[in-house]
Structure 1
Amino acid sequence: MDTWAVPGYTESLELGAGASGRVVLAVHEETGVPVAVKYLSESLRTRPGFVHEFRAEARLLGGLESPYVAGLYEYVESPDGAAIVMELVDGVSLRTLLTRAAPFDAEAALVVLKGSLLGLADAHRLGVVHRDYKPENVLVKPDGSSRLVDFGIAVDVGASAGAAGTPSYMAPEQWTGAPASPAADVYAATATFFECLTSHRPYSGDNLAELALQHVDAPIPVDEVPEAVRELVRRGLAKDPVERPGHAEEFVMELEAAAGAAYGPDWEERGRGRLAALVALLPLLLPSARSAPRTTTDTARTVLSRQPGPGRVQPWLPGRAGMLVSAAAVILGVLLSYGLQHGPGAAPQQAAQALATISAPPAVDSAEPTAPAASASALSSPSPTATPSPTLSASGTATAGTGEPSASATTAPAGETTTPGEPTTEATPTTASPTASAPSAPAVKDVAVTGFRQTGSTTATATIGITTDGTGPFSVTVSWFTSDTGRGLGTADGASQTFARSGATQYTLTVDHAFQNQGCYWAVRVTTTPASADGGASQQLLTRQCEIR
């Protein structure tokens, strides 16, 4: 059970939960500002690969300043937990509205699509692909506007991060693990738009294999949507990403042209009004209507909001807030992995109490922008020095849904042989010398599972990348796991495999495995000796033979 709480905040209730974590409603004690706190689950916090991804999400949010995306206040990590403190979006998830009021009329569906597409557009300008656009990750506010949340599996454009997402909304190229592109987000947004118009998803296979084939080969069901928006659906759901709008901003322009031609200049106002009416029917589901602690600041009625930046988000490199958060998140991993445990003269109890915090506070409305703080200190809790209008990230999981990462593979080093469970060494002729000394083991800087995919009914392959700061010898250990729930790595499957490497600073390994145990989820974990600065890496996938439930 998760018991750790971010210092300096008073929590009131849970807003959402999933296998990867939970989101709670909280109030910043010094200012009375309501926030959403996203905690990494206890089971994943002990696994360095998931912590690395959680830090990456915070780093991304720190550089993404958009009125259409829930923003970052601070990232907090300690030996007892990790959390992202975000804006609290006072809204209802699109999934909730669809459950109660679908199908929407075309104008309301277009408004939802436009608002969240604008959030995608700001991310795409930074070179970021969301990869998990779906109704659960779109929040509709009481004024009918929408906000995009949960960048838990987002990656850089062009990254080969493997197949990931929620199957019912995944573009054809996502199923094959092709490099990430904004066109995949456009596809997922269009699939959600289709669901708003029809109350069902474009494709509904009984299992993953059937669903994948439908996304790749089945005709686009454009006849089910109003004629005025059929071309939008046809373009957005095109099988070939080249035939789709290349990024969200281009799709917004096409949407506005189609909506204006079909429904007149007031279509957006009418659509937003209808969405506002739907949200008004569900007042008790809004975070603002749920029991939250009251403070003296609540009665001051001070209006606080994010200071608007100078125009749109600029291409990466991010702004000062993002730069500080990006740099501090990298430093954070080193501090926690080395400084807190191995610092000279540090007492064990001091290390156990250390708390690293990265913050990127927004500026008070009508005041000069303030530079965000980025610090790693003991028992400190930097917090929003100013606060925005209430906003919320209602997703409790970084990889919600049934889609789990898998990926592509590369070629294994020639001549490599291994015996599961036994260290593999590479014999190198040596000459004894009174003055010669063996090269020291290098520091392992980074470990990544860049490819993990199922190759048969019981077999899988994983591609592993490792970076060191020297050419000395080190070893890599690969372990395999199976699980029925997808929560945690699961049960060890067979013996681990260990490989010895030396002579370079960049390494790529491809490792195959035949699974012995039954389980819908397979996982791989990679560790090194000496230990990597990021603690290692892991990845999990949902096997093709398991049905979607």
Structure 2
Amino acid sequence: MNTWAVPGYTESLELGSGASGRVVLAVHKGTGIAVAVKYLSESLRLRPGFVHDFRAEARLLAGLNSPYVTGLYEYVESPDGAAIVMELVEGVSLRSLLTRQSPLDPEAALVILKGSLLGLADAHRLGVVHRDYKPENVLVTPDGASKLVDFGIAVTTGDSAGVAGTPSYMAPEQWTGAPATPAGDVYAATATFFECLTGHKPYPADNLAELALRHVDSPVPAEEVPEAVRSLVRRGLAKSPEERPSHAEAFVAELEAAAVAGYGPEWEERGRGRLAALAALLVLLRPSAHPGPETTTDTARTVLRPRAGGGGGRAHLWRPTRPGLIVAAVAALLAIVLAYGVPRNDSQAADQAAEAFATTSAQPGVESGPTSPTSSANPAESSASAGPPVPSPSGSQSPASDRPAVSATASAPTEETTQPGEATATPTPTTASPTTPAAPTVKDVAVSGFRQTGPTTGTATVSVTTDGTGPISVTVSWYTGDTSGQLGTPDGNPQTFDRSGATQYTFTVDHTFQGKGCYWSVQATTTPASAGGGASQQLLTRGCDIR
């Protein structure tokens, strides 16, 4: 097992582990804030493709500022390991909730669907497709809110990234490896909604080929859900992506109209209350700390359970079409690849469907994440900008203790995410050197995701790549002005962040602007200086119209 740990954090216990990595509970030494650290497994870290995907997940989270999605504190990578530092969550997965009580009341199911669809909508606006929406990746908090988690296989809209996802929730086009679109996420969300309403998946099957056929050919089983939401199910599970809502935001509007028409204007309050009672009960029934890993994470092996009672069912009442037969052949080939390309490990606890969870310990009034600047002449600015932003739905900052809980979970569903070619391997122990390395050369500095979050506030993501693990300092400066292409006048005091122990760092910083210029700019520089001297970005504020 790799003994490398993210510098600057004290780890206490492991929340979950498996073939793709592990999640541990940790506390940031500088602020005392509890976080979840997601480590990429040693076997996958030695394979460049998986490291690339891990970095991509971190970059996506850094740019996705949503109260309905997991928050990122920082990404750290060194020759000995790679890790994503995320927020903790108090809550339970939708899978655990369904295991406890299923089916759900329609109003409660609508609340779950709406909350996680809002997370999808924020991702879709940035051109990101999740591709793995399922009950294991939806978290329900004790106040009845629902959050979307785990962007591990997310891609940019339009990318052709092969066949990937969780079979029972994959849209027909996802089986063929067609370019990813938000309509595929809408399909998976509707399949999960159907399961909440009925207690079973929309298309049960005995094997992967049959499951593919049913998703492509079998009629939408809308008659099994309450009449008030049948139109939602028909739209969301439509076979063609052109017949579904084009993105999650459009589906939310349809959901709200159907919910009000079917259950009255108070549907959301009632549904949230029922969810809160059930989620709070599950949290109380389970301890907040565990002596060992609670579950395992996903592996590359796809396991499909036979239905209770054996064969039969609607699968034998219809005849597949030609497109369905083609997709079934693809599914059968995929099953063979997975069966022979991935070592079995039947000792894993794959039959348990539970999640790792913990309660955030951020104190009231703490507005920063675990990244803290080492110098700022403006105390107010320091407290507001000491690390990753803590956004509220309005775009302004709020105490970390008031931010909706988002997840860092490691779960083991009975049906696991499919990523062809992924294999497990025995980790090779490595030990980081106890000596302090010399200052490295800074190879690259990048500023991305610079955007306005409020009338006077903005946020940006800074990434730094070095050729060694020695100490560096990153200085972030802000400017205002009225001329495009020029930094303008310094706004407030620069913020300096010290980093060591890795070769790549990504963190998000936010700022309250005092100047009145129409253009805002941000600049990042390092010590030692990078060859390019640093990086900067500029934006035109929403309040100005330059002609």
Structure 1 residues 119 and 278: CA distance shift in structure 2, 3 A: same
In structure 2, distance between residues paired with 1:157 and 1:364? 30
Instruction: Give the whole-Å Cα distance in 2 for the aligned partners of 1:186 and 1:376.
Output: 46
SS at match of 1:27: strand
Match of 2:265 in 1: 265
Code of the residue aligned with 1:66 in structure 2: it is S
Relative to structure 1, the CA distance from residue 271 to residue 376 in structure 2 (aligned partners, 3 Å threshold; closer, same or farther) is: farther
1:389-538 alignment, distance < 5 Å: none
Alpha-carbon offset, residue 17 of structure 1: 2.4
- Give the distance between the partners of 2:218 and 2:525, measured in 1 at CA: 50
Quick one: distance in 2 between partners of 1:173 and 1:277?
38
Residue identity in the other structure for 2:173? E
Question: Counterpart of 1:355 in structure 2: which amino acid?
Answer: A
SS of the aligned residue for 2:103 comes to coil
Are residue 137 (structure 1) and residue 274 (structure 2) matched? no
Structure 2 equivalent of residue 178 of structure 1: 178
Q: Does 1:324 align with 2:461?
A: yes
Task: Give 1:89 shift.
Answer: 2.0
- Alignment partner, residue 307 of structure 1: 391
- C-alpha distance in 1 between matches for 2:35 and 2:233: 36
Match of 1:278 in 2: 278
Q: Give distance in 1, aligned partners of 2:122 and 2:159.
A: 18
1:357 positional shift? 4.3
Deviations for 1:507-546, whole angstroms, at most 9, x for unmatched residues?
Answer: xxxxxxxxxxxxxxxxxxxxxxxxxxxxxxxxxxxxxxxx
* Partner Cα distance (2:159, 2:148) in 1: 21
Q: Spell out the pairing of 1:4-403 with structure 2 (5 A cutoff).
A: 4-284=4-284, 301-302=364-365, 304=367, 306-308=390-392, 318-319=449-450, 324-325=461-462, 328=463, 332=465, 335=466, 339-340=467-468, 354-361=501-508
SS at match of 1:10: strand
State the Cα distance separating 1:16 from its structure 2 match: 2.4
| Preserved CA contact (<8 Å) 2:67 2:393 | no
- Compared with structure 1, are the counterparts of its residues 317 and 10 closer, same or farther at alpha carbon in structure 2 (3 Å cutoff)? closer
| Distance in structure 2 (CA, Å) of the matches to 1:108 and 1:310 | 25
Alignment deviations for residues 472-498 of structure 1 (CA, whole Å, 9 cap, x no partner): xxxxxxxxxxxxxxxxxxxxxxxxxxx
Post-superposition CA distance 1:418-451 (Å, at most 9, x none): xxxxxxxxxxxxxxxxxxxxxxxxxxxxxxxxxx
Question: For the structure 1 residues 374 and 239, does the alpha-carbon distance in structure 2 shift closer, same or farther, using more than 3 Å as the test?
Answer: farther
SS in 2 for 1:268: helix
Task: State the distance in 1 between where 2:512 and 2:460 align.
Answer: 22
Which residue identity does 1:278 align to in structure 2?
Answer: L
The amino acid of 2:52's aligned partner reads H
Cα pair 1:74 1:357 within 8 Å, conserved:
no
1:324 shift after superposition: 3.4
Instruction: Determine if contact 1:358/1:375 at 8 Å carries over to the other structure.
Output: no
Alpha-carbon distance in structure 2 between the residues aligned to 1:88 and 1:367? 32
Query: In 2 relative to 1, CA 299–18 (structure 1 residues): closer, same or farther, beyond 3 Å?
Result: closer
* Closer, same or farther: CA 60–266 of 1 in aligned 2, 3 Å: same
**CA shift digits 1:193-248 (9 cap, x unpaired):** 00111111111221111111110001111111111101100000000000000000
Q: Verify the 8 A CA contact 2:459 2:510 in the aligned structure 1.
A: no
Could you list the per-position Cα deviations for residues 134-169 of structure 1 after superposition, in whole angstroms to 9, with x for gaps in the alignment?
111111111000111110110000001111100010
SS across alignment from 1:95: helix
Aligned counterpart, 2:3: 3
Shift, 1:10, TM fit: 1.5
For residues 20 and 140 of structure 2, the distance between their equivalents in structure 1, rounded to whole angstroms, comes to 23
Counterpart of 1:358, as a letter, is Y
Q: For 1:317 and 1:251, how far apart are their aligned partners in 2? A: 30
After the TM superposition, which of the residue ranges 1-10 and 40-49 deviates more from structure 2? 1-10
1:299 CA displacement: 9.5
SS at match of 2:449: coil
CA contact (8 A) 1:357 1:377 kept: no
Contact 1:92-1:285 within 8 A present in 2 as well? no
Task: Give the Å deviation of 1:22.
Answer: 1.4
Q: How far does residue 32 in structure 1 lie from its aligned partner after superposition?
A: 1.1
**Alpha-carbon distance in 1 for matches of 2:65, 2:286:** 24
Find the residue that maps to 1:324 and give its secondary structure: strand
Q: Is the 8 A contact 1:354 1:377 kept in 2?
A: no
| Partner SS, residue 213 of structure 2 | helix
- AA aligned opposite 1:356: T
Cα separation, 1, equivalents of 2:149 and 2:528: 29
Residues 365 and 255 (structure 1), Cα distance of their counterparts in 2 relative to 1, 3 Å cut: farther
Q: CA deviation at 1:371?
A: 7.5
- Which whole-Å CA distance do the structure 1 matches of 2:217 and 2:122 have between them? 31
Mapped partners of 1:69, 1:367: distance in 2: 30
Instruction: Please report how far the alpha carbon of residue 186 of structure 1 lies from its aligned counterpart in structure 2 after TM superposition.
Output: 0.1
Q: TM-score of the superposition, structure 1-length normalised?
A: 0.59
Unaligned runs of 5+ in 2: 293-359, 369-389, 397-446, 452-457, 470-499, 530-547
Partner Cα separation in structure 2 for residue 24 and residue 374 of structure 1: 32
Distance 2:207 2:19 in 1: 21
CA distance in 1, matches of 2:176, 2:24: 35
Question: Which range moved further: 12-21 or 241-250?
Answer: 12-21
Alpha carbon RMSD of aligned pairs, Å? 3.4
3-state DSSP of counterpart to 1:161: coil
Deviation digits for residues 339-363 of structure 1 (CA, Å, limit 9, x no counterpart): 349xxxxxxxxxxx95134242465
Q: Report if the CA contact (8 A) 1:28-1:34 is conserved.
A: yes
How far residue 309 of structure 1 moved from its aligned partner, in angstroms, is 7.3
- By how many angstroms is 1:319 displaced? 2.8
Q: Is the 8 A contact 1:307 1:363 kept in 2?
A: no
TM-score, length basis structure 2:
0.59
**Would the aligned equivalents of 1:74 and 1:358 in 2 still touch at CA under 8 Å?**
yes
CA drift of 1:13 comes to 2.0
Counterpart residue identity of residue 360, structure 1:
F
Change (3 A) 1:370 1:78: farther
Q: What's the CA shift for 1:367?
A: 12
> Does the C-alpha gap of structure 1 residues 300 and 173 become closer, same or farther in structure 2, counting only changes over 3 Å?
closer
Give the residue type in structure 2 aligned to 1:318. Answer: G
Q: Secondary structure at the match of 2:32?
A: coil
Aligned to 2:441: none
Three-state SS of the structure 2 residue aligned to 1:189 is helix
Cα shift at 1:304: 3.8
The letter for the 1-side match of 2:449 is P
Whole-Å separation in 2 of the counterparts to 1:283 and 1:200: 24
2:163 match: secondary structure? coil
Q: 2:443 maps to which residue?
A: none
Contact 1:16 1:24 in 2 (8 A): yes
SS at match of 1:205: coil
Shift, 1:3, TM fit? 2.1
